[in-house]
Structure 1
Amino acid sequence: MYRKDSEGWLKHTDFIILDMICLQLAYVLAYAISGYGFNPYETIIYRNMAVFLELADLVMIFAYGTMKSVLKRGYYRDFVVTLNHAIMVGALAVLYLFLLQQGQDFSRLTLMLTIIIYLVMTYIVRELWKKLLRKQMKDGGERKLLIVTSEDVAEQVVLSMQENNYARFSLAGVAVVDADWTGREIHGVPVVANEETAAMYVCQEWIDEVLVVVSEVLPYPAELIEQLSETGVTIHLNLAKITSVPGKKQFVEKVGDYTVLTTSINYASTRQLMLKRLMDIAGGLVGCIFTGIICIFIGPAIYIASPGPIFFAQERVGKNGKKFKMYKFRSMYMDAEERKAELMKDNKLGDGKMFKLDFDPRVIGNKILPDGTHKTGIGDFIRRTSLDEFPQFFNVLRGVGGIIEPTEKKLDFTGFSLA
């Protein structure tokens, strides 16, 4: 039976355990350097902090994604990630002491030294552990892997597996399906079979798994794959071979009863979406409170200058063409849309796809005086200060918008083209 590798941060349990050990050692050393001895667990406040630090460490590993791609990170990138992680753990510890009102009873020096020692120690231990794992990757593991490929990508595939052998395969050999290279070597890995002899080789030799990666212009060797399946070995097919899209993110998932390769510009995990939604709710609540306060002053001014609703609603196009109602403080007169046609001749955006004037008389309070000078009013003020945008926080709270998002377009906007 095939053992599926752990996914996400769970596959880096070794790094997580080492990180937690380093944090406790740093805590003990910091306690000792502060002059309190080598047992921080003898008093309840320090014992509780020891437990909280580990919980804070786990929370940040999950929320910040500290262990994501840890094996692929270079020295500088890993240090930056470790530094940010250590600072956040320290910040959570400070917040913990503040909320429990124990700041006066806990040594600030001990906490500061803990974070500094932890940063240095966990970074060094992590790099040493990565060095050991990379050596094991190079040496290979117990699982024997046969690479089935084509001649034009054979060197690239073998080299890629040697450099990214995170599953620690032992590369048993290569089978080239569109040429007879038997007897040759590719980066030290022997070519042991061709398309006709590969299945027999798997039957006669110790092979646990087979990786199939062939050229973009060649079809999969379907007959060979069927023969290999009958031998009982695990087969890995390179799904992105025929659907690779440059610059896009791809991952395998289930849609109904189908296993599919999904391609997207980018994607967010459930954790990331949850954190974003929590941020939007918090920001939306604060924004709605400010909107109410601003409305007390702006609302009457709008109504006096231009009797009618103080809010303006317009249907906009959002993500993937989804339509929704956008709300703003009304900054234009009630007949603004009717007057637009007569002002089209002054449109600064000559393509007609969007509309903009240097001085728009439809804005509440805007007037052209007899001497030609321009007079502005409440409408221009709330536009210049962006106060008219505050009601959009209601959309943020409803979940149809976000604090950080691209600008939504009007329904009549036609400026996008695939040409």
Structure 2
Amino acid sequence: MTNRHRSALLTLLQLADLAVVAAAFLAAVALATPGDDDWLTILEMRVQVRNVLIVGGYLAFCHFVFQGFQLYRSYRLSPSSREWHDLAWAVLTATVPLWAFGDLWHFRFASHTFLPTFAALAFCGLGAERRLLRLVARSMRRHGRDLRHVIVIGSGPPAFDMVARLARRGDLGYHVIEMIELDARGDGSGAGSAAVLGRVETVAASQPIDEVFVALPLDSAQPLIRALVSLCEERGITVRLVSNLVDLILARAQLDEVDGRAVITLFTGPPDSFGLLGKRLLDLSLSLVACLLLLPLFLVVAIAIKLDSRGPILFAQERVGLGGRRFRLYKFRTMIAGADRLQAELEALNEAHGPVFKIRNDPRVTRVGRWLRHLSLDELPQMLNVLMGDMSLVGPRPLPLRDVQRIDKRAHKRRFSVKPGLTCLWQVNGREPQFESWVKTDMEYIDNWSLGLDVKILLKTIPAVLSGRGAY
């Protein structure tokens, strides 16, 4: 795609954003208007030169705010959560003047009703618009439109891996024009460096090149990388440095800046963001509502447990949560009293693979307990753990201290980089008994976390629980 086409699309996006903001503004005005005012009255009152100038000036202000939050940069390689995060802060910032200067303008709709309504409508409208544009762009790229022409420079597996990844992700719209492979050392030293620079110049002169991916060791290949950056800067070509930290298994990598020096931030779990606040609010609201609605069921289960066997109604056990912190997890008791003391005698019957302990026909489980486990009703008291902040509704299942102490692979411990959950991807996918598969789904959840993924898992939990698949 040419720069002229990109400029035209960017202008259309900016105009679309302003149209959505204007529509959200008018809709919020209508919703904040007292019930005795009809639309004709609203139009007669608002279509005034002063109001038109105020709204026009406000739209211009919104445009500068959106520019300031860099909403018009390329999100081609960014997760959608990053765009939603930036959008939320931009809308919040754009709403502040309406609250601050509402009285000064004598604008009667800058009220407690209007402001949250406008902010919500603007955020949802802009989010839906950008989501639609992202889907359209991905479809175009799969059909050979909106492509970025790139050169990949590197040596060995890192370079070939980068080419394979770009080819596999056709929705990103990267078309590899050429891969320039270096010598075995891969540091671009000596004559190899001049040859690489010459080849880049030749290819860039023969056809438009948008980006150059450099898959070289950042320590030994610094002279070549500096020369490449300088060459690409002269031609307006974007340079992307591919990290050679291939052995790190991390959820997120983010580029920050400290006084002009680039800093790569590596997160072991989802970075703190607006989305995590939404996750906590979702946990609190749904858990509180569930506790109130399920209170009669709690009473029935409690009575059944007491009638079936001696012992307490609730079972409390020390588990390991976020950052290795220990907490007391609550469940409905499904085993005979003192079952923990008998576990050592049953170690030989363990059917689970890896450090966890599970027996399908555990002799310690009571009659009511077996029924509770089949329907996962024994997990419901963990709503209290969610309300207390030790757990989340969705996250890797919390392991007992005994199991955690037997985890020997450092990578497996990354599951403690997020709060443990009442349900998880492993549970809704059938509860594979292999611990490696279990951890793999946990890592998949951590690496791809979003609020939307949490909602998706919660919805899948209902049929998974009703089927009882893998529960014992």
Please, what TM-score do these two structures have when normalized by structure 1? 0.48
Point out the structure with max Rg over C-alpha.
Answer: 1
